[in-house]
Amino acid sequence: MNRFAELLDRLAYEPGRNNKLRLITGYFREVGDPDRGYALAALTGALSFKHAKPALIRDLITARTDTVLFGLSYDYVGDLSETVALMWPKTAMAAHNNPPSPTLTEVVTTLRTLGKAELPRQLERWLDELDETGRWALLKLVTGALRIGISARLAKTAAAALGDKDPHDVELIWPGLAPPYPELFAWLEGRGEKPVNRDPAPFRPVMLAHAIENTDFQSLDPADYIAEWKWDGIRVQAVAGRDERGHITARLYSRTGEDITGSFPDLVPSLRLAGAIDGELLILRDSRVQSFNVLQQRLNRKVVSPKLIKEFPIHLRAYDLLGDDENDLRELPFSERRERLEVFIKKLDDPRIDLSPTVPFASWDTLTAARADPASAGAGEDADAVEGVMLKRRDAPYLPGRPKGQWWKWKRDPHVIDAVLMYAQRGHGKRSSYYSDYTFGVWAEGDGGDELVPVGKAYFGFTDEELLQIDRFVRRNTTEKFGPVRHVVHEADKGLVLEVAFEGLQRSPRHKSGVAMRFPRISRLRWDKPPREADRLQTLEKMLKVEAAEIEA
């Protein structure tokens, strides 16, 4: 457990993806079965046991320490598990005997079977046996709050690296595996056969598109491509398959392979034909596609209430077919898959699942026009939910990852505003010596005349050269410092105007300005523009009104 805790501890501080991978792979290499398997399960969220309530942890510490000292410590540290982990006083006997600390396997298997009444005593024993970091990890684990910025995908990629395997292969066999994954590690280390996925409705690694640049078009022939609308929803894979008894199992996966079926129970009955659909999850009202803001009301919900289902009816718009009953279609060219898809959707004949239409075009000019005005190019009333067009090579097989030259996304031009840089914060990792996180604001009427109100934060979009320029500007124009944050000069005639691009707006009570941007990034530095000419809050509020009306509709 202490070794696993050490890994979690280090991961929690490491910002770089590749370095995280190295740390995890290093752990898998060093630690044997079954501990590493349970670690992989913990990192992928595959462990299940009843979590301990914070109140229980609090009771344990109160029984052992002075309440005033605990109060002062908790105030200082700010995190219950961490406070308890750090100040836990071992019993005199534990301190004297120095009992061996539990292994991760011991902890996980014990927690699985332990009765509720025995939990406090067991926890106490472990807390006595572990070191500070071990106690911290244990408490995070048992309270179900293991937030360390690792995705399941990353953990699986680290496992794959152990045997120089493609992460997609791990993803494919994953649904058939269970902790502590001995057959997976045996295969990765070349000691065993590749495990077979017996899941009737497995996830297939998704194919992604490259963003197209203006210069790319010259080398592309329109005749080689099929165009579709790019919908502003959520990319999903809807899979239905027959189990050994012939019953249909249906699952909905996110593009990273996370099983999200539980959040959309209303779609499951529609997935009655065995097959794997690649498509977009949308909300449809009166057969009209709603904006992403509307769809967002259905995301990250713990409870999916009947009311929610009724008010935000879910819909799947299909654009590819990866499997048709028992047949894997991924080797087929896209044009053939598309034909199979059309037949499949017709046969399914379900009001919740329809076909994403293609956009006819003969030249890049026609497509440019369609992208500029989707409404009159076939998208009709759904045009607001179109965020651009997709180009897919007719002869492209379905390849996992982001293969070159096969699929292109050509997004609608983003919204842009001119905002004023207000605060800058140092970045992390490679960027820790740069002021690379920017808070920017627009003008609004305040008590004492016009003032800037922050409307968002961005930390990318600029080139390396621009980063250097902004960094230099920040250092030379700092008016105050608060720890890692610098207050940068922002007056009517002094300051830096940033052109900020973003995908959409939302009302947000957490921001002083009342608005929050989706996907904001710095698109240009406006050295030429004095701050007084930056945009006003009203401009954003006007955009908001249109969107808000949609959510309530």
Partner 1 sequence: MTGEFGAPAAYIVCMRPQDILLPVAAGLCCKPGGFHIDPVRPVERAVITHGHSDHARAGHGAVLATQETLDMMRLRYGENFAGSTQAIGYGEEIRLGDVRVKFHPAGHVLGSAQIAVTCKDTCIVASGDYKDAPDPTCTPFELVPCDVFITEATFGLPVFRHGDAADEVKKLLASVALFPERAHLVGAYSLGKAQRVIALLRQAGYDAPIYLHGAMETITHYYQSRGIELGELRLVKGVKKAALAGTITLAPPSATSDLWTRRFPDPVTAFASGWMRVRARARQRGIELPLVISDHADWDGLTATIAATGAGEIWVTHGQEDALVHWCQSKGLRARPLDLVGYSDEEESETPLPDGAEA
Q: Is 477 in the site for partner 1 (CB under 8 A)?
A: no
Give the burial class of 232: count Cβ atoms within 10 A of its Cβ; 0-12 exposed, 13-18 middle, 19 or more buried. Answer: buried
Fill in the per-residue mask, 57 to 76: x = in contact with partner 1 (CB under 8 A), - = not in contact: --------xx-xx--xx--x
Nearer of residues 447 and 464 to partner 1, judged by Cβ: 464
Q: Is 132 in the site for partner 1 (CB under 8 A)?
A: yes
| Residue of 81, 135, 129 whose CA lies nearest to 101 | 129
Q: Is 23 in the site for partner 1 (CB under 8 A)?
A: yes
Nearer of residues 288 and 428 to partner 1, judged by Cβ: 428
Q: Is 543 in the site for partner 1 (CB under 8 A)?
A: no
Q: From the CB of 157, what's the least distance to partner 1, in Å?
A: 17
Q: Is 482 in the site for partner 1 (CB under 8 A)?
A: no
| Residue of 399, 419, 390, 527 whose CA lies nearest to 470 | 527
Is 404 catalytic? The answer is: no
Q: From the CB of 510, what's the least distance to partner 1, in Å?
A: 21
Q: Which two tokens stand for residue 46?
A: 């595959």
Nearer of residues 54 and 414 to partner 1, judged by Cβ: 54
Q: From the CB of 161, what's the least distance to partner 1, in Å?
A: 14
Q: From the CB of 436, what's the least distance to partner 1, in Å?
A: 11
Considering only the stretches 5-13, 229-237, 248-256, 509-517, report the one whose residues sit in contact with partner 1 under the rule CB under 8 A: 5-13
Q: Is 13 in the site for partner 1 (CB under 8 A)?
A: yes
Q: What are the phi and psi torsion angles at 86 (to 5°)?
A: -75, -40
Q: Is 131 in the site for partner 1 (CB under 8 A)?
A: yes
Whether 225 and 389 have beta carbons less than 8 Å apart is answered as no
Nearer of residues 432 and 538 to partner 1, judged by Cβ: 432
Interface with partner 1 in residues 77-106 (CB under 8 A): 77-79, 82-83, 86-87, 89
Q: From the CB of 72, what's the least distance to partner 1, in Å?
A: 5
Whether 38 and 104 have beta carbons less than 8 Å apart is answered as yes
Q: Is 309 in the site for partner 1 (CB under 8 A)?
A: no
Residue among 20, 140, 156, 230 flagged as catalytic: 230
Distinct helix (H) and strand (E) counts, the chain: 19, 20
Helix ranges, 103-144 (H): 104-113, 119-129, 132-142
Q: What is the dihedral sign for C-alpha 121, 125, 127, 128?
A: positive
Which three-class secondary structure state does DSSP give residue 191? coil
Considering only the stretches 20-28, 158-166, 271-279, 323-331, report the one whose residues sit in contact with partner 1 under the rule CB under 8 A: 20-28
β-pairing, 210-211 vs 435-446, is unpaired
What's the first-to-final CA gap in the chain, in angstroms? 52
Give the burial class of 536: count Cβ atoms within 10 A of its Cβ; 0-12 exposed, 13-18 middle, 19 or more buried. Answer: middle
β-pairing, 407-411 vs 210-211, is parallel
| Residue of 490, 404, 494 whose CA lies nearest to 455 | 490
Q: Is 426 in the site for partner 1 (CB under 8 A)?
A: yes
Nearer of residues 18 and 214 to partner 1, judged by Cβ: 18
Q: Is 149 in the site for partner 1 (CB under 8 A)?
A: no
- The DSSP H or E segment spanning 552 is helix 537-552
β-pairing, 314-324 vs 353-355, is parallel
Q: Is 428 in the site for partner 1 (CB under 8 A)?
A: yes
Q: Is 44 in the site for partner 1 (CB under 8 A)?
A: no
Q: Could you identify the residue written with the tokens 């052992």?
A: 64
In single-letter form, the type of residue at position 451 comes to E
Q: From the CB of 184, what's the least distance to partner 1, in Å?
A: 23
Q: Is 14 in the site for partner 1 (CB under 8 A)?
A: yes
**Sheet with 407-411: strands ordered across:** 210-211, 407-411, 386-393, 225-231
Q: Which two tokens stand for residue 80?
A: 């219950």
Nearer of residues 99 and 429 to partner 1, judged by Cβ: 429
Q: How far apart are CA 282 and CA 288, in angstroms?
A: 10
> Which of residues 433, 465, 527, 528 is near partner 1 by CB under 8 A?
433
Nearer of residues 10 and 532 to partner 1, judged by Cβ: 10
Which three-class secondary structure state does DSSP give residue 169? helix
Nearer of residues 255 and 487 to partner 1, judged by Cβ: 487
Give the burial class of 205: count Cβ atoms within 10 A of its Cβ; 0-12 exposed, 13-18 middle, 19 or more buried. Answer: buried
Considering only the stretches 162-170, 216-224, 353-361, 429-437, report the one whose residues sit in contact with partner 1 under the rule CB under 8 A: 429-437
> Which of residues 112, 191, 272, 475 is near partner 1 by CB under 8 A?
475
What residue ranges bind partner 1 (CB under 8 A)? 6, 10, 12-15, 19, 22-23, 26, 65-66, 68-69, 72-73, 76-79, 82-83, 86-87, 89, 131-132, 426-430, 432-433, 475, 483-484
Q: Which residues are marked as active site?
A: 230
